[in-house]
Amino acid sequence: MTRTLHLTGNVEADQLLSEDALALLIGMLLDQQIAMETAFIGPKKIADRMGGLDITKIAEADTETFVELCVTPPAIHRYGGSMARRVQTLCQYIIEHYDGRVEGIWTDGRPKPDGPEVLKRLKALPGYGEQKAKIFLALLGKQYGVQPKGWRAAAGAYGDRGSRRSIADVTGPDTLAEVRAFKKAAKAAAKAG
């Protein structure tokens, strides 16, 4: 990782996202049907309530107990119960497929995985589809210092230099506003078309 992320406007949440790949992966999982920065604060809420963000503790937690932890106000998401289950399933998948090492998604294998392979691995994650996987790959490449060969092309338009399409392009309040404007314009164009 090459720098500190500024995705949420919350210093402690951004620090966790910068230092912990699991936090970043969970934040991206939560990034739907709520504000981007709210989604990426979710991992900090979990960490605060569990005494840290531990993939094994999350994966092995009693599901209903974990759900209760996630829906307690302020909840991790508007749909806290279903998202808590998705977070737990994601953690279980990473333990099963990458020995609990989130970084294994983009580092495991010989030769090291290229951009298309990392995208394929991201799309295979529970709760991740094509678009979410491309955005996360762009976030890794643009801000997390993970740049496997061909990552920009694999991320599609989200990998474009200078774009303001997604959380991958948010580096502070100004770029957050630009991304919001882009999304609003895209939504309006889709409605009009």
Query: What pLDDT does residue 2 have?
Result: 46
Q: Where are the beta strands (DSSP E) in 122-181?
A: none
Query: What pLDDT does residue 190 have?
Result: 87
Does residue 42 contact residue 150 with C-beta atoms inside 8 Å? no
Rounded to an integer, what distance in angstroms lies between the CA atom of residue 168 and that of residue 164?
Answer: 8
First to last CA, the chain: 40
Rounded to an integer, what distance in angstroms lies between the CA atom of residue 156 and that of residue 70?
Answer: 33
Residue (of 49, 32, 31) closest to 40 by Cα position: 31
* Fold entry, domain 11-160: Endonuclease III; domain 1 (1.10.340)
For 163, list phi and psi in degrees, rounded to 5. -75, 160
Does residue 42 contact residue 76 with C-beta atoms inside 8 Å? yes
Tokens read off for 114: 């290229």
Per-residue pLDDT of the chain (193 residues; tens, 9 = 90+): 447 899 999 999 999 999 999 999 999 999 999 999 999 999 999 999 999 999 999 999 999 999 999 999 999 999 999 999 999 999 999 999 999 999 999 999 989 999 999 999 999 999 999 999 999 999 999 999 999 999 999 999 999 999 999 999 999 999 999 999 998 898 888 888 7
Query: What pLDDT does residue 116 have?
Result: 98
**Global pTM value:** 0.95
HSE (CB half, 13 Å, CA atoms) of 101? 8
What number of other Cβ atoms are within 10 A of residue 103's Cβ? 12
If you search the block for the tokens 């279903």, which residue do you land on? 82
- Residues 6 or more apart in contact with residue 165 via CB below 8 angstroms: 157, 158, 179, 182, 183
**Residue ranges covered by each domain of the chain:** 11-160
* Burial (CB count within 10 angstroms: exposed 0-12, middle 13-18, buried 19+), residue 49: middle
Query: What pLDDT does residue 1 have?
Result: 44
